Amino acid sequence: SQQGEEDPQALSIQEGENATMNCSYKTSINNLQWYRQNSGRGLVHLILIRSNEREKHSGRLRVTLDTSKKSSSLLITASRAADTASYFCATGNFGNEKLTFGTGTRLTIIP
Amino acid sequence: DTAVSQTPKYLVTQMGNDKSIKCEQNLGHDTMYWYKQDSKKFLKIMFSYNNKELIINETVPNRFSPKSPDKAHLNLHINSLELGDSAVYFCASSQERGRQETQYFGPGTRLLVL
């Protein structure tokens, strides 16, 4: 069954605003990752946060992880048109070789 | 100097045909994967190989057969193609197995079965 569910499914904001996407999952995880997929392209890894971490930053990206709520959020600050893409969370679970991807949030940045 | 490459990029074929998709990675990674992304963008793991050994085999019809001639290559052969096989197929690689680390994706192969 699907592990990650992103929320919202779609998000449109003005350039320069911040974008927040959420991911909820069901079972204990080893780590949680966020990926970006531009239209017609493959997925690109953005950031990985381990189960013992609560927050991580990378440039304009900020990821939080709340294992008690089984949720994570991805914040993109000062959005740009080039941030328009689908964003997926993926969970790595203990005792399992694979990553399980969520349903994705389609982000549109309006110039 | 593409990290993970796939061929072909587009594949249009008739129902019942057999086709292959090839994947190569030049990252020196041990583990490679095949994913299927459906029209709703849901990404599902199909297979994974670690150094030519099959380690993940999800509930995929046996019309799909992966082959890994060496750890840098993972090909996917599909027999008797069906309409429902239409999707985007992504190859990915990661440095080593069992640690659920970052995966590097290819550009995808868009398969359309008519």
- Give the integer Cα–Cα distance in Å for A62 and A55: 7
pLDDT at A2 over 50: no
Residues of B with Cβ-Cβ distance to A104 under 8 angstroms: 41-43
User: What average pLDDT score do residues A31-49 get?
Assistant: 95
Q: Are A35 and A45 in contact (CB under 8 A)?
A: yes
Q: Quick one: how far is CA B15 from the chain centroid?
A: 20
Compare CB distances from A33 to B35, B102, B106 and report the shortest one's residue: B102
How close is the nearest chain B Cα to the Cα of A62, in Å? 17
Question: Can you give the pLDDT at residue B58?
Answer: 86
Q: Which residue has the higher pLDDT, A55 or A7?
A: A55
Give DSSP secondary structure letters for B9-23: SEEEE-TT--EEEEE
Alpha carbons A21 and A62: distance in angstroms, whole number: 11
The pLDDT, as a whole number, for residue A94 is 72
Whether residue A98 and residue B45 make contact (CB cut-off 8 A), yes or no, is: yes
- How does pLDDT run along chain B (114 residues), one tens digit per residue? 669 999 999 999 999 999 999 999 999 999 999 999 998 888 999 999 988 888 888 878 999 999 999 999 999 999 999 999 999 999 999 987 666 788 999 999 999 999
- Closest partner residue to B106 among A42, A100, A103, by Cβ? A42
B52 shares contact with chain A (CB less than 8 Å): no
Q: Kindly report, residue by residue over A90-107, the tens digit of the pLDDT.
A: 998 776 778 889 889 999
Which whole number is the average pLDDT over A34-58? 95
Nearest residue in A to B110, CA atom:
A40
Tell me how far apart the alpha carbons of residues A59 and A17 are, in angstroms, rounded to a whole number: 15
CB-based contact, A23 to chain B, within 8 Å: no
3-state secondary structure of B48: strand
Picking from A11, A101, A93, A29, the residue whose alpha carbon sits closest to that of residue A65 is A29
What pLDDT, on the 0 to 100 scale, is given for residue B46?
Answer: 94
Of B43, B97, B107, the CB nearest to A101: B43
Chain B residues whose beta carbon lies within 8 Å of the beta carbon of residue A97: 48, 55-56, 97-98, 100
